[in-house]
Amino acid sequence: MFKPMAKAEAIDPKKIARREAIRKGLFWACWGVFVGFAGILGASIVRFAYPRIVFEPSSIFKAGKPDDYKAGSVSLIHGRGVFVVRTEKGFYALSAKCTHLGCQPIWYEDQQVFKCPCHGARFDKEGINFAGPAPLPLPRFHLSLSPDGRLLVDKSINVGMDFFLEA
Amino acid sequence: MKWVPLGLVRYTVCLGGLSVFFFLLCILTGPFLMLYYVPDVNRAHADVMDIMQVVPFGSFVRNVHRWAACLMIVCVPAHMTRVFLQAAYKPPRQLNWLVGITLLILTYLMCFTGYMLPWDQEAYWGATIGATMAENSPFLGAKGPFSVLPPDKDIHYIMLGGTVLDQPTLSRFFFAHCIAIPGALAGLMGFHFFNIHRAGGMSGPL
Ligand code: HEM
Ligand code: FES
């Protein structure tokens, strides 16, 4: 059975003020914990989406023996995004990534031209853009001979248009 | 909330409602496609071929998903044109115009991410182009104007899950297409409708 309180005692106004302060403090502390947690969770999830380790092909790789390439040939190294070009003078490695929006140009042997299938950019054998939307030539990567006599391409080093590895 | 009087549906053919209808068709068919589609680079394309050729009514369900997606892309900008021509973006409806623009962008992202799921040549190079555009965008991309973020912290990296298109990319696009963006779209649509109610209903013919 519900019994009404005998008689409301006069409560010390100081006590009331203190309880009120505690109540407010707890209220805001709860909100603080909640907002803090939400913030930490949000920031963690954003950081979570940036992998620390990626499993991707190395930017330095061997591309076979120089003798595997005929003079005048252009060869796509599959899975590496690089063309190895051999001229009479020597070798150079061109990026197989169109400077427009990143598709992979195709080498047309009969016309001696690279054409990009995405929006029709054209590059000559030196990788120089001469038609279509591509604003820049295909970058050239550093090429050297590894100690075991293979071509060594380093995609992390861009070299000038006059760079080539003597045959 | 009151039902829209039918008399309001006139020459403007209720384009917003049609957008919702096509969205619901996608929401209905998408999860069924997920029963057969696995976002694995070695089988995603074969799964889509299975849906087309082996699964009973597979090509029908996939085509409903595709056509509804395309028609939604037609309806949303058309709906916005109607709102613009009726000056319905003016107070008290400014907020809903902004929500609408967000919905438009999310719808485009829906198509961009869905387009890459079949993992064929078109999908792969389409996503390559989109990723390169992201990489060259201002502020967010490492190669764009005013770039502030390093290459392994920019929008391109988070989008691809690395620097090249591969399994992490397909997993991310799948998550975005099937969970993150539809969720955001549904939530924002609810807010969009609530705002219509709050602004006192429609401003003119639907
Ligand atoms: C919860 C909702 C959705 C789910 C679970 C879903 C799921 C899927 C799946 C699994 C695929 C791959 C299968 C295929 O390529 O046919 C796909 C493709 C696609 N989705 Fe969705 N989807 C949803 C909503 C949407 C929406 C709202 C849109 C656009 C407005 C959309 C646009 C597309 C497009 C353009 C494709 C490529 C279709 C194709 O190549 O056939 N999806 N979706
Ligand atoms: S990506 Fe090569 S022309 Fe556009």
Q: Considering only the top CATH level, what class is A60-166?
A: mainly beta
Tokens of B57: 């009514």
Q: Does B131 touch chain A (CB under 8 A)?
A: yes
Range of the domain at B35: 15-198
Are residues B158 and A49, on separate chains, in Cβ contact within 8 Å?
yes
Distances (CA, A) of B172 to B69, B87, B98: 20, 39, 27
Residue to substitute in B19, B25, B26, B61 for testing ligand 1 pocket (most ligand atoms within 8 angstroms of CB) = B26
Are residues A50 and B158, on separate chains, in Cβ contact within 8 Å?
yes
The DSSP 8-state label assigned to residue A10 in this structure reads: P
Using alpha carbons only, give the angle B163, B150, A142 rounded to the nearest 5 degrees: 60
**Tokens 């998903």 belong to which residue?**
B65
Kindly tell me if the per-residue pLDDT of B83 is higher than 70: yes
Per residue, the 3-state secondary structure of A103-125, as one string, reads: CCCEEECCCCEEECCCCCCEECC
Q: pLDDT tens, position by position, for chain A (167 residues)?
A: 666 665 666 788 899 999 999 999 999 999 999 999 999 999 999 999 999 999 999 999 999 999 999 999 999 999 899 999 999 889 999 999 999 999 999 999 999 999 999 999 999 999 999 999 999 999 999 999 999 999 999 999 999 888 988 87
Question: A-chain residues within 8 Å CB-CB of B160?
Answer: none
Nearest alpha-carbon partner for B163 in B151, B176, B174: B151
Q: Interface pTM (ipTM) of the complex?
A: 0.82
Helix segments in A49-77, DSSP class H: none
Q: Give the span between the Cα atoms of A54 and A155, in whole angstroms.
A: 17
pLDDT (tens digit per residue) in B126-156: 999 999 999 999 999 999 899 999 988 999 9
Residue to substitute in A104, A107, A116, A138 for testing ligand 2 pocket (most ligand atoms within 8 angstroms of CB) = A116
- The residue whose CA has the least distance to atom 1 of ligand 2 is A101
Count of domains forming chain B: 1
Residue in B112, B124, B128 to test binding to A, most A beta-carbons within 10 Å: B128
Helix segments in A2-99, DSSP class H: 13-48
Are the C-beta atoms of residues A145 and A152 closer than 8 Å to each other?
yes
In a domain, B205, yes or no: no
* Residues 6+ away with beta carbon under 8 Å from B124: B116, B165
User: Given this model, what pLDDT does residue B1 score?
Assistant: 45
In a domain, B111, yes or no: yes
The pTM assigned to this predicted structure is 0.87
Burial class, A42, CB count within 10 angstroms (exposed 0-12 / middle 13-18 / buried 19+) = exposed
Are residues A101 and B133, on separate chains, in Cβ contact within 8 Å?
yes
Q: What is the dihedral of CA B3, B8, B11, B16, to 10 degrees?
A: -40
Helix B94-116 × helix B58-85 angle, to 10° = 150
Strand pairing category for A151-159 and A165-166:
unpaired
In a domain, B89, yes or no: yes
Q: Give the span between the Cα atoms of B98 and B195, in whole angstroms.
A: 11
Q: Give the span between the Cα atoms of A98 and A124, in whole angstroms.
A: 12
User: Given this model, what pLDDT does residue B90 score?
Assistant: 83
**Which CATH number covers residue B46?**
1.20.810.10
Domain ranges of chain A: 12-55, 60-166
Question: B-chain residues within 8 Å CB-CB of A51?
Answer: 161-162, 168
Ligand 2: residues within 6 Å at CB? A 98, 100-103, 116, 118-121, 132-134
In a domain, B169, yes or no: yes
